[in-house]
Amino acid sequence: MSTQQLPVVVIGAGPVGLAAATHLVERGTEPLVLEAGGRAGAAVREWGHVRLFSTWGEVVDPAAEKLLAPTGWTRPDPATYPSGGEWAEQYLQPLADALGDKVRTGATVTGVSRAGRDRTVDADREQQPFVVLVEYADGREERVLARAVIDASGTWTTPAPAGGSGLPALGEKAAADRITYRVPDLKDPAVRARYAGRRTAVIGSGASAFTALAYLAELAEAADGAGTKGMWILRRGISASTFGGGTADQLPARGALGLAAKAAVDKGHADAVTGFRTEAVERGADGRLVLVGEDGRHLEPVDEVIVLTGFRPDLSFLDELRLGLDERLQAPVALAPLIDPNQHSCGTVYPHGRRELSHPEQGVYLVGMKSYGRAPTFLAMTGYEQVRSVAAAIAGDLDSADRVELTLPETGVCGGAGLFDTPDAQPADGGGGCCAAPEPRLVQLVAPTAAGTAAEEAREGGCCGS
């Protein structure tokens, strides 16, 4: 059998993985989707209680909709916002069913290489098929040969730790019984009881942190939530950008998340601690946790900690492949400058496809969230355009693969998280601001502990100035 007759292995049956398979089918190329979970969209289902800030019209891939049409599937109202659970049940599962035996669940990829060639061997390397080692839920193992590999496994299984240095804080692992790395489902009675009437630290500054703060505020205002209190831990200062783009965000629901977090603080349901990088997690005699900063600060004891500091790609099973990854973001080298949070400011992500997603190892592509490495703010529509381009390239239609058109909604926020870590950072071009939003207003918050110069840092943060 020639390499061209082999299937393209797609790792992950999430939104982007299933879209990849759909585009391959549309091109007459046989896909084989390997999903570690028991059902399609397994990772999405784990945050099924969270509502997306993108509408149905933005989270359904056009090629997938064509594939689903003959089955009688109808897309939900394109102007409404699905929850993760609704996305999985009403779109991802029907799409996986339409793909049939091209999707295998309970199939964990444990390694990818070239047949008969480890990463050190040059001889005839590109003529060899890929070999994918798979372990099934029942313990069986299999070696699958493939003409190409599309890794859409995401980053959900590898959340970043609480430690400000990127390493787990001292005592973080020992305190695992009181720490979660996910937005809690406060509609679940058992989970609700865990947080009701208790003090919870939320570490993070993105959409997930906004969501957790809003959920805790709702609980605090409920009849069964009296005494619920949040402590919001930020590694940088407070500025106009802290709460996202607000009304300037072209995705209104995304902007609303930041406004909800601001409301939680303004109403006293959460205190903000700025310029705090967690060094250690200590357990007191009463079992409560005390967060200790790199600057020696000890915060007030909390009952629970929610760590929402981002995610990282799991590259361990790709170790025998020759990947070209940016040393900071762990994203493809050509893509990294377009998404680097140290430099990326408001405006859109530049169009990108198979060229930016290629590696020295020809025929392997990291797509979806995994393609962004450690960078945040990935949108489903980005992934759908990525895999359309990649599928075209695999099919040999390079003209189509290179005609990448992608226009993403602006966040209304100037600068990325890395830039904001420097209190006196200015726009890279030295110009007078990079946003078309109204002139920023600084949010005045008082940290619950003595913070040294943190208050001054808060006044100076942001790339647009004031």
Is the pLDDT confidence value at 164 over 90? yes
How confident is the model over 438-453, as pLDDT tens digits? 332 323 333 333 333 3
| Tokens standing for residue 332 | 């493809």
Question: Lowest mean pLDDT: which of 24-28, 150-154, 208-212?
Answer: 208-212
pLDDT at 422 over 60: no
Give residue 247's pLDDT: 53
Segment 325-353 shows an average pLDDT of 81
pLDDT tens string 262-316: 888 889 999 999 999 999 999 999 999 999 999 999 999 999 999 999 999 999 9
Beta-bridge partners for 282: 290
What's the confidence (pLDDT) of residue 456?
29
- Total Cβ atoms within 10 A of residue 325: 18
Give pLDDT, residue 197.
Answer: 97
Closest to 8 in 3D by CA, of 402, 316, 396? 396
Share of the chain above pLDDT 70, in %: 81
Q: Is the pLDDT of residue 216 over 80?
A: yes
So what's the pLDDT on residue 350? 72
Does residue 364 register a pLDDT over 70? yes
- 226-267 confidence digits (pLDDT tens): 999 999 999 887 655 555 555 555 555 566 777 788 888 889
pLDDT tens digits along 88-140 = 999 999 999 999 999 999 999 999 999 999 999 999 999 999 999 999 999 99
Question: pLDDT (tens digit, 9 = 90+) per residue, 19-61?
Answer: 999 999 999 999 999 999 999 999 999 999 999 888 999 999 9
Give residue 14's pLDDT: 98
| Residue 437 backbone class (left: φ over 0; alpha: ψ -120 to 50; beta: rest) | beta
Mean per-residue pLDDT, 347-352: 66
pLDDT, position 451: 35
Strands 130-136 and 141-146: antiparallel
Mean pLDDT check: name the lowest of 137-141, 329-333, 381-385, 426-430.
Answer: 426-430
Euclidean distance between CA atoms 339 and 320, whole angstroms: 26
Can you list the pairs that 446-449 forms with residues at least 24 positions away whose Cβ atoms lie under 8 Å?
A: 446/271, 447/271, 447/272, 447/273, 447/274, 448/231, 448/271, 448/273, 448/299, 448/300, 449/273, 449/297, 449/298, 449/299, 449/300
Instruction: State the pLDDT at residue 442.
Output: 29
CA 300 to the chain's CA centroid: 30
What average pLDDT does the structure give for the chain? 85
Owner of token pair 């793909």: 99
Percent of the chain with pLDDT over 90: 71
More confident residue, 249 or 149: 149
The pLDDT value given to residue 179: 98
Residue 460: predicted pLDDT: 27
- Residues 46-64: b if buried by 16+ CB within 10 A, e if exposed: bbbbbbbbbbbebbbbebb
The confidence score (pLDDT) of residue 393 equals: 97
Q: Is residue 451 a contact partner of residue 277, using CB atoms and an 8 Å limit? A: no
Q: Which of 27, 19, 61, 124 is nearest to 393 (CA)?
A: 27
